[in-house]
Amino acid sequence: MTKTVCIQGLGFVGFAMAIAVASAKNINTQKPLYQVIGVDLDNRIGRKKIKEINDGEFPISCNDKELENAYFDVLKAKNFKATTNTNYFKKADYVIVDINLDVSIKGEFSNIDFDNFKNAIKTIGQNIKKDTLVVIETTIPPGTTEKLIYPILVKEFEKRFDKEINPKLAHSYERVMPGPEYLSSIINFWRVYSGIDKESEISCEKFLSTIINTEKYPLQKLSSCNASELSKVLENSYRAINIAFIEEWGIFAENIGVNLFEVLNAIKIRPTHSNIRNPGLGVGGYCLTKDPLMGYVSKNHFFKNFSGEFPITKKAIEINNLMPFRTYEITNNYIKEHNLNKKILILGLSYRDQVGDIRNSASIDLAKYFLKNKYSINSHDPLVKEEISSELGYLKKLPKAELFSGIVLTVSHNFYRELNILNWLKNFKGLFLDANNILSENNIQKIKNKNINLKIIGRGDL
């Protein structure tokens, strides 16, 4: 019998996970293993998303044709649909929780309002069968599964079942990488998991093994849900700290006339240093901006007896938050020095290349600095589908370069990489600033040969 999986939350992670699960097939018959039901909020945004999904309108902007094709395949196979109706949890053999959990970013006082999250877990507990496995994919502070989620489920089970019936609960975080390998980053990548008890652990391992390519990417079982939660938070914190470390050396390199990318490429030859980060516009997206603060949130909510601090993490966040200001400052200084009009074009609004996700985008932070200082802003991004604040002057078509005194290239979308940049800039007289090392060396030389004013974050040799 085909089993039913409910995915709670159909955002950038939940939607992709739903497609991955719906795409899992029986090795012998090649028939779908699961009937997948995506459940989202009964509000304007949720209803719009659900209508798009069920009507065959691909609901997110990305360049992954594999994900898009898989979406149409599961619609055709009729084993995936979306709804706001939480009664479908009653049918679920598995529930995957992919609800956004926002952090109030206030340094050591950072916090999370768990109310909506707790209500969502309560709804699950009120509806699921006694042997349903609940898998938490949402990035959560260490302690959340054991100290918040499990007690809620136990309380709801006690109302419906015998007291010896315990809910099956596991934590297994996603490592989704939006972009051209969106779907593959779920199916073909290592996965960490742990269960609240042995039965949950075994059930989670069996379930994930039907979705993940475990032959090439074996599952990694950790000893507790606390450990699994900490694993996600720590790996993202490490990356954020790495970025902050390079930012301070990028400033130094620019001031002494050095191309830091040349230096970093030399360092990366060492296998122990291959993942050193690059300088750029700033840290954006839903993970690296908030996950390093989860230690504080965990301490403030669940482990109040812990008196330690996270000084390196805290400083890294402060450095990363200021990165867009440095790009603003370079542009502003040039505009003032050459007495140019304050008209700026920002190329790229999403937080990373090949996706249309603008959550916590460093490009938007950059735009806010310009707006605060009375600049006239226009922006362009070929992948953003959602509504953009009118103050950002969002343009669907790329405007003429000569209309602006400053152009900041922020996101490495294929559209910009493939643009005939020299032809587009032929009448441009202002400053062109590449904030993320996007231009090819060939284009850099062509631009310089045309005496176009060019600056690149991390390069002091230009």
Burial of 290 (C-beta count, 10 Å sphere; 0-12/13-18/19+)? buried
> Does position 250 have pLDDT exceeding 80, yes or no?
yes
Question: Is there a contact between 423 and 446 (Cβ–Cβ < 8 Å)?
Answer: no
Q: Look up residue 207 and give its DSSP letter.
A: H
Number of H helices, E strands in the chain: 16, 14
Distance of CA 107 to the CA centre of its chain: 21
174's tokens? 């996603």
Helix then strand then coil, % of the chain, to nearest 5: 45, 15, 40
> Does position 284 have pLDDT exceeding 90, yes or no?
no
> Does position 386 have pLDDT exceeding 90, yes or no?
no
Please compute, for residue 147, the number of CA atoms within 13 A of its CA located in the half-sphere on the CB side.
14
Which residue's structure tokens are 């750029």?
A: 280
388's tokens? 């953009």
Cα radius of gyration (the chain): 24
Question: Is there a contact between 110 and 117 (Cβ–Cβ < 8 Å)?
Answer: no
Mean pLDDT taken over the chain: 94
Question: Is there a contact between 213 and 179 (Cβ–Cβ < 8 Å)?
Answer: no
Q: What is the mean pLDDT of residues 231-260?
A: 95
**How far apart are alpha carbons 84 and 40 in whole angstroms?**
5
Question: Is there a contact between 263 and 460 (Cβ–Cβ < 8 Å)?
Answer: no
Question: Is there a contact between 435 and 325 (Cβ–Cβ < 8 Å)?
Answer: no
Residue ranges of domains in the chain? 3-234, 240-456
Q: Which CATH superfamily is domain 3-234 in?
A: NAD(P)-binding Rossmann-like Domain (3.40.50.720)
Please tell me whether the overall predicted TM-score, pTM, comes out greater than 0.85 for this model. Answer: yes
| Structure confidence at residue 107 as a pLDDT band (50, 70, 90) | low
What is the four-CA torsion angle of 199, 201, 202, 206, rounded to 10 degrees? Answer: 140
> Does position 285 have pLDDT exceeding 80, yes or no?
no
Percent of the chain, pLDDT > 90?
85
**How far apart are alpha carbons 273 and 213 in whole angstroms?**
28
CA geometry: angle 167, 206, 124, nearest 5 deg:
30
Question: Is there a contact between 358 and 384 (Cβ–Cβ < 8 Å)?
Answer: yes
| Structure confidence at residue 368 as a pLDDT band (50, 70, 90) | very high
Please compute, for residue 202, the number of CA atoms within 13 A of its CA located in the half-sphere on the CB side.
4
CATH of domain 240-456: 3.40.50.720
Q: Which residues pair with 345 in a beta bridge?
A: 378, 407
> Does position 17 have pLDDT exceeding 70, yes or no?
yes
158's tokens? 């006690």
Summarised one tens digit per residue, pLDDT across range 295-305 is 999 999 999 99
Q: What is the mean pLDDT of residues 10-27?
A: 95
| Domain 3-234 matches domain 240-456 at the CATH topology level | yes
Biggest CA–CA distance in the chain, Å, is 79
> Does position 1 have pLDDT exceeding 80, yes or no?
no
The pLDDT value given to residue 290: 81
| Structure confidence at residue 286 as a pLDDT band (50, 70, 90) | low
| Structure confidence at residue 377 as a pLDDT band (50, 70, 90) | very high
**How far apart are alpha carbons 290 and 139 in whole angstroms?**
10
Distance of CA 330 to the CA centre of its chain: 28
Question: Is there a contact between 244 and 321 (Cβ–Cβ < 8 Å)?
Answer: no
